Amino acid sequence: MIDFPKQPVSKNVIKAFLSISIVFLAIWSASGLEISLERLAKAPQLTWILISALFPIDLSQEALDRIIPKVFESLYIAWTGTVIGALFSFPIAFLSAKNTSITIRLPRFNNKKNIHLYSSYVMKQILNVIRAFPELILAFIFLPITGLGALTGTLAIGIHSIGTLGKLSSEVIEGIDEGPLEAIKASGGNKNNELFFGVVPQVMPTIIAYWLYRFEINLRASAVLGVIGAGGVGQELINQLRFRAFDRAGTVLVATVILVLSIDTISGAIRRRIIRGKSVSIVEANI
């Protein structure tokens, strides 16, 4: 008897199975949520009624005095949160990257082998735990300590940013080119020299780009955090919608969109400049 190798399951079979299960899941969800085609067909009409209530927006002095400071508060929350995240995640990233991690030798006891504690392993688990909590849940926890206001949102966003930025930065550090490190070692540099002249210059552009990218995300998150009273523009939007002041809600929306669009544009331009670098012409370089 010859053992024939097993015929692999064809990709088409898997694809067909996936399509069937997607259709099945969609029908199951729609029936569970009591969504009929009738309701779906009516939705655009209802949304149009809301949009026509939002515009024209309320541009009276009173509304602007109320809304503009709140919009800028969101900006401050997002920026300070990003700065907290960047400052704390930077050293953590080096500890949690495999190639720059520290090994701690715990003292031996009971004549057993020495236990080696890798900082990369410990810090990675800590970062995973931090990242698992959404910003809103963190804000719940901070509310009794820091009260209703911008500080709660800042701390929640800052701590969540430590988790995400730490992970992204440590992945950048793990992906560096080892050549410069070897060169520094060969010319007599110690571990610290390797870190400062080999690793940091290589990873800095990408890490700063990640900080700016996180700032864009945090701006949206800080706008959302207002819903539970952690400062920012979300509080204003939910209040105006509850009081059926739709034209003022329109003002809040337009102000948020303008802020987010302009910040996205500026930060996107800076990121592109950092990653691509300044274009230096050959004549200017004088080689």
256: closest CA among 235, 272, 282, 277? 235
The phi and psi torsions of 5 (rounded to 5 degrees) equal: -65, 145
Q: Determine, following the binding rule CB under 8 A, whether residue 143 of this chain makes contact with other proteins.
A: yes
Judged by beta carbon, residue 163 or residue 234, the one nearer other proteins is 234
Q: Determine, following the binding rule CB under 8 A, whether residue 230 of this chain makes contact with other proteins.
A: no
Q: Select from 63, 67, 71, 75 the one that contacts other proteins (CB under 8 A).
A: 75
Across 157-191, b (16+ Cβ under 10 Å) vs e yields bbbbbbbbbbbbbbebbbebeeeebeebeeeebee
Residue 181: both structure tokens together: 């490190």
Q: Determine, following the binding rule CB under 8 A, whether residue 46 of this chain makes contact with other proteins.
A: yes
The span from the CA of 134 to the CA of 32, in Å, is: 26
The span from the CA of 103 to the CA of 119, in Å, is: 6
Judged by beta carbon, residue 116 or residue 273, the one nearer other proteins is 273
Compute the least distance from the CB of residue 230 to other proteins, in Å. Answer: 11
Judged by beta carbon, residue 100 or residue 163, the one nearer other proteins is 163
105 pairs with which residues across the strands?
116
Q: Which residues bind other proteins (CB under 8 A)?
A: 11, 14-15, 18, 22, 25-26, 28-30, 32-35, 39, 42-43, 46-47, 49-50, 73, 75-77, 79-80, 83, 132-134, 136-137, 140-141, 143-147, 149-151, 154, 220-221, 223-224, 227-228, 231, 234, 237-238, 241, 246, 249, 253, 256-257, 260-261, 264, 278, 280, 285-287
